[in-house]
Each structure stands twice: as structure tokens, then as C-alpha cells.
Amino acid sequence: MKKDLVIAIDLGATNLRAGIISKNGKILKCFKIKTPKTSEAEILNNIIVLVNALLENFKKQNIKAITVAAGSPVSQDELIAPPNMPFKKIAIRKPLEKYFKLPVILNNDCIAAVWGEKHFGAGKKFKNLVYITISSGIGAGAIVDNHLLSGHSNNAAEIGHFTIDTKYNLLCGCKKGHGHWEAMCSGNNLPRFFKAWLKENRIKNKYLIRKSADIFALADKKDKIILKFLKEVGQLNGHGISNAIVAYDPELITLGGGVVLNNKKHILPYLKKNVDKYLKTPKIITTPLKEDIVLLGAAALVFYPKN
Ligand SMILES: [Zn+2]
């Protein structure tokens, strides 16, 4: 029996997706639910339910492995105090291996994503590329000289925790520092940054902003104050991207994550305008793989193991 399929899981802070993927990067079946916030056990149970649902339509003998990509930091076995989830640790590999009797691998979602870009997306022709997500959090994966960077603890390119601001003093969700890129410009933190920005600029807060989508909805209505705020967000995004360029010297940067993909016109022009020209500016585009990039990347790590 040919083992030419994998079951890929994208365990994000917002959504939990599970799909059956073929070797040429085709998603044959996929389910998506909101990521449970109640307990570690519920996350694991939901993964089991989704995988069982996928297996109803496919033969287990054809499955090469279950591959899980999750918001970091991750070890080979578990998620460790993910900054965007209310849990300390979530054991993944051993319980799933025991339950399904299939090999299970666990990786950082952005490291998986850039491998997906390389094998199934815009990165096929490039030896040096970086994928950056701006979603609930901010993270990246990097390929340098065709080599996928994983790092000492398997979490290389955690660039959401670059310090890019010293003015607003906002504590990051990682609780390890202030002014991290993720603390300012991620989907979870934009509303808080907006509040701090209004205060710093002595603008009366007449807004009811609960989530970042509220900010972008007002930007669509051309709210002048919001548009001014998004210019500053663009400056900070520019700092983050500039740091990534000097760190990895890429030919291509692809961007993904809900904040970028759903609000291209409010994010991309400001971001590109603020990229430093110290090194050769790479091509900067949104990923053609869109919200499937992590799922496809997790599968790519099984079909095309990293060197
Ligand atoms: Zn941080």
C-alpha cells in the first residue's frame, strides 16, 4: 500500500485546521474549527475528532504521518507556554502517536510555512526566502542558502519578539520584554497599541475598539485618525521587515496571516514604504498559498524532509 498522503494539522491561536494532503500539495479534504480556549485536553480531543473525521474518507494505510504545526515555541513533543494561548504546556506527539498508531511530528508553524512556500508556493525558484505572518501573533520562517533554519530549540526566526519600539513601553505576550513587534502590530495587540497611540498623541478616545478588525473597518470608512495610526503601524512593520532583511538577506519575503491577507491595502503600502534600503530590497509579496500555507508546510516537512 502506497503511503502517499499525510494528515496535517495547523494549530493556530484562532483556528484549528486539519487536512489530508497529497505529495503535490493538494488539499484533498479539510476541516476548520475555532481553537478551543478552555483546556489542554480539549485541544487534544478536538484534534483527535478532526483526524478521525478525515480518516472516514481515506484509508489509514495510505497515511505516511500526522504532522502538526503550531504557534511556537514548540519542542518535538509539546507546545511550551504559547504566548497567544491560555495554556502552559500542551503535549502533542506522544498522545497522538499512541491513539492513532501513526508517526507524529511537531513543528513551529512559521518554519513549516516557509517550507511550504518553497515546495508548493512562490518560493520554488529561490534559495533565500523568508515567510512572515502577521496574525494573532507575529512570526517567521527562514530559508538561507536553501537551508531551512530550525535553531537550537527548533524555533529559529521568532522575529515577532524583535524589539522595534522604545516609545510606548507595551509589554509583549511573551512577558519577556517591551516593544516587541508582536506587542505592537499583531492582531491581538493592535487595539491596545491604538489606545496607547491615542494617549501619546493626546487624541480623545471616542472609539469602541474590541478587536483589530474594528480598526480596519474604520480604515475602510477612511477615518482620518485611524489612517494616521495605520501609518505608524506601517513604520513599525517596516522596522520589523528591515530587521528580517539584515538578519537573513532574502531574495523573497512572502507575507501571510489574517491581518495582512484581510487588509492588504491598509498594511502593504505603509509597510513597503518603511523598509530600510541598507541591503538589497527583496521582492515582498503576499503568499499565494494564503491561509493554507501552514497546513501545506506541515505536509512539505514530511514529504520533503529538511536538510
Ligand atoms: Zn515578545
pLDDT tens-place string over residues 77-88: 888 877 777 778
Sign of CA dihedral 165, 169, 170, 172: positive
Q: How many angstroms does the Cα of residue 290 sit away from the middle of ligand 1? A: 25
Q: How many angstroms does the Cα of residue 92 sit away from the middle of ligand 1? A: 23
pLDDT at 181 over 70: yes
On whether the CB atoms of residues 68 and 74 are closer than 8 A, the answer is no
Q: How many angstroms does the Cα of residue 201 sit away from the middle of ligand 1? A: 24
SS (H, E, C) the chain: CCCCEEEEEEECCCEEEEEEEECCCCEEEEEEEECCCCCHHHHHHHHHHHHHHHHCCCCHHHEEEEEEEECCCECCCEEECCCCCCCCEEECHHHHHHHHCCCEEEEEHHHHHHHHHHHHCCCCCCCCEEEEEECCCEEEEEEECCEECCCCCCCCCCHHHCECCCCCCCECCCCCCECEHHHHHCCCCHHHHHHHHHHHCCCCCCCCCCCHHHHHHHHHCCCHHHHHHHHHHHHHHHHHHHHHHHHHCCCEEEEECHHHHCCHHHHHHHHHHCCCCCCCCCEEEECCCHHHHHHHHHHHHHHCCCC
Q: How many angstroms does the Cα of residue 20 sit away from the middle of ligand 1? A: 33
Q: 84-102, pLDDT tens digit by residue?
A: 777 788 899 999 999 999 9
Tell me what pLDDT residue 72 has.
Answer: 67
Tell me what pLDDT residue 75 has.
Answer: 85
Q: How many angstroms does the Cα of residue 13 sit away from the middle of ligand 1? A: 15
pLDDT at 125 over 80: yes
Q: How many angstroms does the Cα of residue 230 sit away from the middle of ligand 1? A: 21
Alpha-carbon span 154 to 301, nearest angstrom = 13
All cell numbers assigned to 243: 530587521
Mean pLDDT of the 141-145 span: 98
5-114 and 122-288 in the same fold:
yes
Q: How many angstroms does the Cα of residue 175 sit away from the middle of ligand 1? A: 6
Which band of pLDDT confidence, cut at 50, 70 and 90, is reported for residue 223? very high
Q: How many angstroms does the Cα of residue 174 sit away from the middle of ligand 1? A: 4
Which band of pLDDT confidence, cut at 50, 70 and 90, is reported for residue 217? very high
- CA of residue 224 relative to chain centroid, distance: 30
Q: How many angstroms does the Cα of residue 6 sit away from the middle of ligand 1? A: 33
Q: How many angstroms does the Cα of residue 138 sit away from the middle of ligand 1? A: 9
Tell me what pLDDT residue 39 has.
Answer: 85
Q: What is the mean pLDDT of the chain?
A: 95
Candidates 3.30.420.40, 2.40.10.480, 3.40.50.2300, 3.20.20.70; CATH matching 122-288: 3.30.420.40
Tell me what pLDDT residue 81 has.
Answer: 74
Mean pLDDT of the 216-230 span: 98
Q: How many angstroms does the Cα of residue 176 sit away from the middle of ligand 1? A: 6
Candidates 3.40.50.300, 1.20.1740.10, 3.10.105.10, 3.30.420.40; CATH matching 5-114: 3.30.420.40
Q: 29-41, pLDDT tens digit by residue?
A: 999 999 998 888 8
Q: How many angstroms does the Cα of residue 1 sit away from the middle of ligand 1? A: 46
Q: How many angstroms does the Cα of residue 179 sit away from the middle of ligand 1? A: 8
Tell me what pLDDT residue 13 has.
Answer: 85
Domain layout of the chain by residue ranges: 5-114, 122-288
Q: How many angstroms does the Cα of residue 100 sit away from the middle of ligand 1? A: 35
Mean pLDDT of the 268-284 span: 94
Q: How many angstroms does the Cα of residue 62 sit away from the middle of ligand 1? A: 40
Q: How many angstroms does the Cα of residue 178 sit away from the middle of ligand 1? A: 7
pTM of the prediction? Answer: 0.95
pLDDT at 231 over 90: yes
On whether the CB atoms of residues 22 and 28 are closer than 8 A, the answer is yes
pLDDT at 115 over 80: yes
Q: 43-86, pLDDT tens digit by residue?
A: 999 999 999 999 999 999 999 999 999 986 788 888 887 777 77
